[in-house]
Structure 1
């Protein structure tokens, strides 16, 4: 690969007034017109550090034919501030062949190593004391399903929308689920952990994440990951001896109800203690990750207001990291200071047999 094909600057490093000549992924493109009837291109460009709006004002029709959404483009532009947001004013763009780029420079990826998280996943499955439930989990998390689960994003855009995001999100929920099961003796800890592991399993089919930008598959749009996940569990359960129908129904209920409200896509409301907890843990982790991503994008350190966040329907007051983003951060949830996976206790019938040993 030519050294000229390697990215020299990433979106997170751009500063106002900076001249840019570099490769980006074209994630959105619209040929529009000004009020005077002059055509222009409204673009969104991305790399592994984020996405930025861009505009090309001159010769827009010609450049519109140069590349499609999902293509890599060599862009000549100037970074400008528009309504307090950094934007690229593009003077030209040129299609770049996929073979000339390193995909990992454009594919957002979890900060946690995928192999480390996969090892933690196996430890979680091994911690389940209910033998039929553990066999169900082992039957599902293997082969191609496991490979895709380790790499899948948890969402298209809002939270954990990067390679490994689904596994990171799942492990984060499990970390909270284990502690919550210790706090409330009525909780069936094995059932809650199983639900946490399986609640988003079908996102491996809902999303196409073989290239960026991530998008929904036809099956994902037509059926959705809640129904697809329930189907996966029921198929796998047919071959597990000793796994009674009631337990399969309770696991399936966790998957189908975890969005919490009918208007949010759940065909049923949470109706067991484990389902109620899973919904709130899932919602909490998604929102915390969303806010963490916003903190990472803030250019200045210190407490400050964000722009209006439509997904949360509010302004947020967050602490920007600014230059501190380059300072080594504390280990991620579930990661020991030595990089070892979290140790999980075995929970059965809602009783913690011993306290969880977490190494942060």
Structure 2
């Protein structure tokens, strides 16, 4: 089979558009209508996003072609459904991995990876504490370093793309330096070391060798907090210069950086550096999530997002089309925009689980 090059991406879909193109199957359910007729519910993705899809005819036949984690060539028409785009598929067939370009399916950081690698090297050079520097150099090398530069920082919510982990880490470090300049009680080297290591074990928690990102068995069973402690202790055995107190402080930052027991931390942050790391981590995750929502906006001006269950709120964001225009803070004050629909007028969906972190 000759496979055409991919030309249509999820973020380019237009209502009524008929097309043929390749997508990755990220979810699959063979279900039944109320009348008992089988249909296939799919989630299809590429590097630009994910879209729901349905196969209403010959569902059982096509179900064997559409395995999760594999590529399919679909013939479909894009239709709006409940204010979201959905594909009605008339035919599909399996496409072999070798026939696709992975760059079409793996979202990647907007920051060049080579640029971030240089910034990471400069960050390590700036650690003045000899023991911490040697520990970090022992860790950030070889396969660990290579994976760190490619891993996502999350499966879906924030920095969920190749290079997301190093981008997230460097962003926190940039804020950490400003905070250490402002608050003199902060041990800068310890804060930066904690930032470098807090999510490092996500290189083991996630499988990012192919779309879509998923948890490894160890990731689900153990989690990146405990895996991170193991990684640090293993490296520390090669660095006799590191003191027991320093090591405990660093491990405490990793274990407590989610900030609350409810969010998976076995201990609460108890040092200035741990408290600050938790706050900076949360800020960066949420801001990256908001940037992702903003990037999907159409039109101009401030707009309300859909209800965000994990944050328990609607979000009022300014469309990116205005980023390069002169700012008029009074004119753009959300409280003074009469065209905006207040969230109170929208029906809030039920919340099955209260969660206000993006970790």
Q: TM-score, normalised by structure 2?
A: 0.88
Moved more, 283-292 or 231-240: 231-240
Partner of 2:345: none
* Structure 1 outlier segments of 4+, above 2 Å: 299-302
Partner of 1:306: 305
Partner of 1:274: 273
Q: Is the 8 A contact 1:258 1:266 kept in 2?
A: yes
Partner of 1:126: 125
After superposition, residues 1-360 of structure 1 pair within 5 angstroms as 4-321=3-320
Q: Is the 8 A contact 2:108 2:164 kept in 1?
A: yes
Secondary structure in 2 aligned to 1:301? coil
Q: Is the 8 A contact 2:23 2:44 kept in 1?
A: yes
Secondary structure in 1 aligned to 2:227? helix
Q: CA deviation at 1:31?
A: 0.6
Q: CA deviation at 1:242?
A: 2.2
Unaligned stretches of 5+ in structure 1?
Answer: 328-360
Alpha-carbon displacement from aligned partner over 1:235-281 (angstroms, at most 9, x marks no partner):
11122132110000000000000000011110100000000000011
Q: CA deviation at 1:87?
A: 1.3
Q: Distance in 2 between matches of 1:291 and 1:264?
A: 20
Q: Distance in 2 between matches of 1:101 and 1:300?
A: 33
Secondary structure in 1 aligned to 2:190? helix
Q: Distance in 2 between matches of 1:198 and 1:285?
A: 16
Q: Distance in 2 between matches of 1:222 and 1:115?
A: 33
Q: CA deviation at 1:32?
A: 0.8
Secondary structure in 2 aligned to 1:68? coil
Secondary structure in 1 aligned to 2:87? strand
Q: CA deviation at 1:220?
A: 0.5
Q: Is the 8 A contact 1:5 1:101 kept in 2?
A: no
Q: Distance in 1 between matches of 2:39 and 2:309?
A: 26
Q: Distance in 2 between matches of 1:160 and 1:51?
A: 16
Q: Distance in 1 between matches of 2:178 and 2:161?
A: 26
Q: CA deviation at 1:303?
A: 1.2
Q: Distance in 1 between matches of 2:23 and 2:216?
A: 24
Q: Distance in 2 between matches of 1:105 and 1:223?
A: 32
Secondary structure in 1 aligned to 2:149? helix
Q: Distance in 2 between matches of 1:274 and 1:150?
A: 24
Aligned residues: 324
Q: Is the 8 A contact 1:308 1:316 kept in 2?
A: yes
Q: Distance in 2 between matches of 1:164 and 1:32?
A: 36
Q: Distance in 2 between matches of 1:5 and 1:240?
A: 53
Q: Distance in 2 between matches of 1:44 and 1:319?
A: 29
RMSD: 1.5
Q: CA deviation at 1:188?
A: 0.3
Secondary structure in 2 aligned to 1:151? coil
Moved more, 234-243 or 42-51: 234-243
Alpha-carbon displacement from aligned partner over 1:311-346 (angstroms, at most 9, x marks no partner):
212111112236x79x9xxxxxxxxxxxxxxxxxxx
Alpha-carbon displacement from aligned partner over 1:17-62 (angstroms, at most 9, x marks no partner):
1112100011111011111111111111100111111111111111
Q: Is the 8 A contact 1:5 1:100 kept in 2?
A: no
Q: Distance in 2 between matches of 1:255 and 1:5?
A: 46
